[in-house]
Structures are given as C-alpha cells and as structure tokens.
C-alpha cells in the first residue's frame, strides 16, 4: 500500500514540476515552465491539432508520419506535416539550439511520440489516479479516496471539446468519460455513510455526464435515506424511472426497485 501512496505523491509532484503541462479536459491549454502559452504563439490551428493528435495516440508507440498525415490532412504533403511539427517544437522548446534533437517530441526515423516522462497531461494523470484508486479500493480506502479526489480535481469537462467532430479524438473522450464516471460513483459509494451530502453531489456530477447512469440515482437515494430525506429519495427514484423510460423504454433494475420499496416502507 505504501508503494501506491508513493506513486500518488510522485504524480502530485510531477503535476507541479513538469516543464510542460497540458490541459485537454474542458479546454486546451499548455504551460511551459509554469507560464501559460498565449494561443497566438501556436500560429496555425493545424499545429495545435497535430499536438492533440499526439496526445490522443500517446500510448500507440511511434506513430508513423504517413498515418498521422492520413488522419489530419487526407491529401496533405510532407511540407504540411513538417510545418506543423516545427510549430509544436517551437512552442515547447523555443530556445532549443539548431541541429539538436527535440526533447518532448521523440523522433525515431519517420515515427513520432510524446515524451511522457517530461510532459504532464491531465488525461494521463487522471487515468493513473483512477488506477491507484481502484487498486487501493477495499484495502486502503484512505488512499482510494485521495486518488479519486485527485482525478476529480483534474476533470474540468470533456476531452478536447472543440474537437468533438474529429474521429481521432473520440476514443480518448469516451475512455475519459468512463474513467471519471467510475471515479464519481466509487467515491460516492465510499462516502455514502460518512458524508451522504458529498455522496449526493458526486452522484449528481455523474448524472450530469450521463443522465441514464442508474447507479448514480441509486446512490443518491441511499444518501437521502441516510440523511432522513425520504421525499427527496422518492423524487430521485421517479426521475430515474422517467429518464430510463424516455431514453431506453425500460424499468429500473430490481436492485433499485427494492431500495425504493424499503424507503417507502419507512414510516
């Protein structure tokens, strides 16, 4: 367990000290040595897009130039790619001496990848925090809570909201949404007895991401029951019934029905 705590602390330190930090959730921002980059520094949009493409595919080691061009330009040529790549390197390392290898975009022949040891990216950190939370769950809920809270702090909205129509960004967006939904729900579950009010808030955040997430409604009902707010618990159940009927044409699960029955029986 102490190893998980160590990893958690290292992640926090990296978040503070990384020479390059990138925000992709809610909006796109980049900090170089703690200074936020002015959007004008990027020049053209394709430069930002290429960096965002690298981020979206950061775990596919060594991205082939042709494949990148195929996704971003369709009929573009080498020059377009070179200009965009030069634009990224200029923003990340404006002082880099000529004829030296870039530090942050690692090149191997005609393949490229981000140097994740030097660049802090919010989605990458969020995933790592959620993994720690999941690993510690049940064994050490203090670490779990700390890790999930760290993930939630990072989550500022959907992944690259201005690229929602680009298919290369969809996978990361979906993955992050599932991770954060899981973090909200699991943390709400851990906290339901000790802090039902916070549990309700977390479940509400999950509902704002996916209004059909039945676990979130059930958690809210449990939390309201603990708080002694029977009417609100019933109201929450009704909302769940309406949403599931409207979106899927189905009833809530037996587990949810059983819970409302128990709540209704409270005199």
Partner 1 sequence: MAKKPEQTASFMVRFHQKIFEEDGESNVQWRGKVSHVQGGDEQRFSDFKEAVTFIQEKLSELTLEATKEHSPEQREGILKKSLDMWKTVAQVGPKVIMDTIKDPKKQIAQIQDQIQDQISHLGDEIGEKVHIDQWRNASRSDFKKVKKSINELAGEIKKLHAKIDKLSKKK
Reported as type and span, the H/E element at residue 31 is: strand 29-32
Residue 253 contacts partner 1 per CB under 8 A: yes
| In contact, 158 and 164? CB cutoff 8 Å | yes
Among 2, 16, 74, 266, binds partner 1 (CB under 8 A): 74
Site residue total, partner 1 (CB under 8 A): 21
Residue 255 contacts partner 1 per CB under 8 A: yes
Which CB atom, from 195 or from 212, has the smaller least distance to partner 1? 212
Among 19, 76, 102, 182, binds partner 1 (CB under 8 A): 76
Closest CA to 15 of 100, 129, 108: 129
Which CB atom, from 49 or from 150, has the smaller least distance to partner 1? 49
In residues, how long is the chain? 267
Among 33, 79, 100, 165, binds partner 1 (CB under 8 A): 165
| In contact, 130 and 124? CB cutoff 8 Å | no
212 vs 177: CA distance, rounded Å: 14
| In contact, 17 and 89? CB cutoff 8 Å | no
Q: Which two tokens stand for residue 195?
A: 């802090």
Angle of CA points 55, 58, 62, to nearest 5°: 125
Which CB atom, from 109 or from 248, has the smaller least distance to partner 1? 248
Pairing of strands 119-121, 20-23: parallel
Minimum gap (Å) between residue 266 Cβ and partner 1: 24
How far is Cα of residue 225 from the mean position of the Cα atoms in its chain? 31
Minimum gap (Å) between residue 65 Cβ and partner 1: 16
Minimum gap (Å) between residue 177 Cβ and partner 1: 9
Residue 45 contacts partner 1 per CB under 8 A: no
Residue 170 contacts partner 1 per CB under 8 A: yes
24 vs 121: CA distance, rounded Å: 8
Residue 79 contacts partner 1 per CB under 8 A: no
Q: Which two tokens stand for residue 177?
A: 């949404």
Which CB atom, from 74 or from 101, has the smaller least distance to partner 1? 74
Among 102, 113, 214, 227, binds partner 1 (CB under 8 A): 214
Residue 164 contacts partner 1 per CB under 8 A: yes
Which CB atom, from 41 or from 247, has the smaller least distance to partner 1? 247
Q: What are the strands of the beta sheet with 119-121, ordered from one edge? A: 35-36, 29-32, 20-23, 119-121
Residues that bind partner 1 (CB under 8 A): 73-76, 80, 164-167, 170-171, 174, 212, 214, 247-250, 253-255
């Amino acid at each position: 367990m102490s190893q998980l705590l160590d990893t958690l602390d290292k992640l926090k330190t990296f978040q503070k000290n990384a020479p390059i930090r990138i925000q992709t959730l809610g909006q796109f921002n980049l900090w170089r040595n703690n200074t936020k980059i002015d959007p004008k520094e990027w020049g053209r949009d394709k430069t930002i897009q290429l960096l965002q493409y690298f981020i979206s595919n950061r775990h596919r080691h060594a991205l082939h130039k042709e494949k990148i061009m195929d996704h971003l330009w369709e009929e573009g040529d080498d020059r377009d790619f070179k200009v965009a790549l030069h634009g990224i390197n200029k923003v990340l390392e404006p002082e880099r001496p000529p004829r030296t290898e870039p530090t942050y975009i690692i090149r191997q022949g005609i393949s490229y990848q981000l140097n994740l040891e030097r660049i802090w990216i919010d989605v990458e950190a969020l995933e790592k925090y959620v993994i720690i939370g999941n690993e510690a769950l049940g064994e050490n809920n203090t670490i779990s809570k700390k890790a999930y809270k760290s993930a939630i702090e990072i989550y500022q909205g959907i992944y690259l909201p201005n690229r929602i129509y680009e298919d290369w960004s969809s996978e990361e967006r979906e993955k992050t949404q599932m991770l954060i939904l899981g973090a909200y729900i699991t943390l709400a579950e851990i906290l339901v007895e000790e802090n039902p009010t916070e549990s309700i808030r977390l479940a509400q955040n999950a509902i704002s991401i996916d209004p059909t997430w039945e676990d979130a409604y059930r958690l809210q009902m449990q939390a309201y029951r603990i708080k002694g707010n029977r009417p609100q618990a019933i109201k929450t159940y009704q909302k769940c019934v309406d949403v599931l009927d409207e979106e899927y044409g189905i009833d809530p699960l037996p587990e949810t029905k059983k819970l409302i029955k128990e709540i209704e029986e409270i005199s």
